[in-house]
Structure 1
Amino acid sequence: MLIIRYLIAYIRTCIMYVAHTDYLINIIRICILCIVFQKGFYLRAKKREGGVSRKHLLWVFIFLLYLGAVYVVTGIGTIWDVQRFVTASTSEFDRIYLVPFSSSEVMMPYVLNIIMTIPLGFLLPLIWKQFRTIKKVALSGFLLSLCIELSQLFTQSRTTTTDDLIMNTLGAIIGYFIFKAFFHIILKKNSNEKDEITSSSVVIKHEAIFYLVLSFLGMFLFTI
């Protein structure tokens, strides 16, 4: 019951972030570079594959909304934090915990870190068939978490721990297995359908990676 109560409180907090003006501003920030990419992507896909479906674009938008929530909740560092860190007279590397489970955190932060990346593990293979392998999903969860943790080195209010890396990666893996169960139960009849986008183009083939990188850079560079 305690876990359920904390989970409800966590979901309520996320909803408050979504309704907050800062969240909407952050969505604009992460979309700045993504929109530029998507324009070029759409034109290339239209030329090579005949276009991109509205359903695909809708799922991509949902994916970006999710990433925006992750960046706001985790409080990633920005280029301004890097500047402050460089000019600071004191070191903040004492807030790094490299040994797993060596910090004094209680169990709930671990659970919340897992929950945070479950949607990532679910959405990646749902939207992009290239990510329908556990290896790619786990690697994506790990790298996204690593980027967040490294950026937090330059902030004043966050700690950097290997615990977060482990839990976030585990959450992505759990999300992948949820997708697999969902896929086999509901979408199996469509499993033989042709991919919406199948191309040798690097831009088209690695669309998801571009969104992950550009959304992070949008927050990192344009947050004031």
Structure 2
Amino acid sequence: MLVIPYVYIAAVYTAIYLLVRAAVSLRNKKIDWKREMLHILMYINLIVIIYFTFSPLCLDLNEIFNCRINLIPFVYLLDYDSGAHMIYNVFGNIFMFVPTGIVLPVLYKRLDNFFKVLGTGFLISLSIEILQLPFADRASDVDDLIMNTLGVATGYVIYMIVRYAKNPGKQKANLPGVLKQR
């Protein structure tokens, strides 16, 4: 079995990130530092997500695609050894994706409503669950998908509350049934 430490995963991901950002900066000539900071925040968020979902990365060719998949929502939540483990899992999955729901609509103007941000967060989480399939020490779980998407939704609500608080009455809210303009 080959174990790849997180430091190596982060180093490769950082190199790719820096190459992409350098290419974009060279193309645009002028650097928008506010936007660049948002990209860095999103990068840090993704690095944290990768750490918690893939670290350590264990490759065993004898066990590759020996998938553990849970497609039934909430069936395993009560199987934890203690309530503390369950709470850690549920809230960890939610909190891990809250920054995604905050940064996405700020960084990408096309993600201008709740459902676009929620869908993007869902697709990010689904990608992670699919990427975990080949690894015997990982499990793809619909509960994680639900909790991660809930985290994105929570982040978007926080984003909208802050946005509305900064300019009350100037902006219409893009939340279904929440913060409607008067």
TM-score by length of 1: 0.62
More helix, by proportion:
1
- Which amino acid letter does the alignment assign opposite residue 73 of structure 1? F
Instruction: Tell me the secondary structure at the aligned position of residue 117 of structure 2.
Output: helix
Partner of 1:74: 53
Deviations 1:79-108 (A, max 9, x none): x73xx3xx3168623x21111112224541
- Which amino acid letter does the alignment assign opposite residue 153 of structure 2? I
Partner of 2:20: 37
Q: How far apart are 1:24 and its partner, in Å? A: 6.0
TM-score by length of 2: 0.74
Deviations 1:35-65 (A, max 9, x none): 222222223333xxxx331121122112211
Partner of 1:101: 74
Q: Which runs of 5+ in 1 are unaligned?
A: 1-21, 192-224
Partner of 1:139: 119
Partner of 1:92: 66
Please say which of residues 101-110 and 59-68 is displaced more in the overlay.
101-110
Which of 1 and 2 has higher RCO (CA within 8 Å, sep 6+)? 1
What root-mean-square deviation, in Å, do the aligned CA atoms of Structure 1 and Structure 2 show? 2.8
Contact 1:76 1:152 in 2 (8 A): no
- For 2:37 and 2:51, how far apart are their aligned partners in 1? 21
- Which amino acid letter does the alignment assign opposite residue 127 of structure 1? L
- For 2:36 and 2:64, how far apart are their aligned partners in 1? 46
Partner of 1:7: none
- For 2:16 and 2:170, how far apart are their aligned partners in 1? 33
- For 1:90 and 1:137, how far apart are their aligned partners in 2? 33
Contact 1:77 1:151 in 2 (8 A): no
- For 1:34 and 1:152, how far apart are their aligned partners in 2? 21
Alignment of 1:207-218 (within 5 A): none
Partner of 2:33: 54
Contact 2:6 2:55 in 1 (8 A): no
CA separation of 1:188 and 1:25: change in aligned 2, threshold 3 A: farther
- For 1:158 and 1:114, how far apart are their aligned partners in 2? 19
- For 2:121 and 2:130, how far apart are their aligned partners in 1? 14
Please say which of residues 97-106 and 141-150 is displaced more in the overlay.
97-106
Counting aligned pairs with the same residue, the percent is 28
Q: Which runs of 4+ in 1 moved over 6 A?
A: 188-191
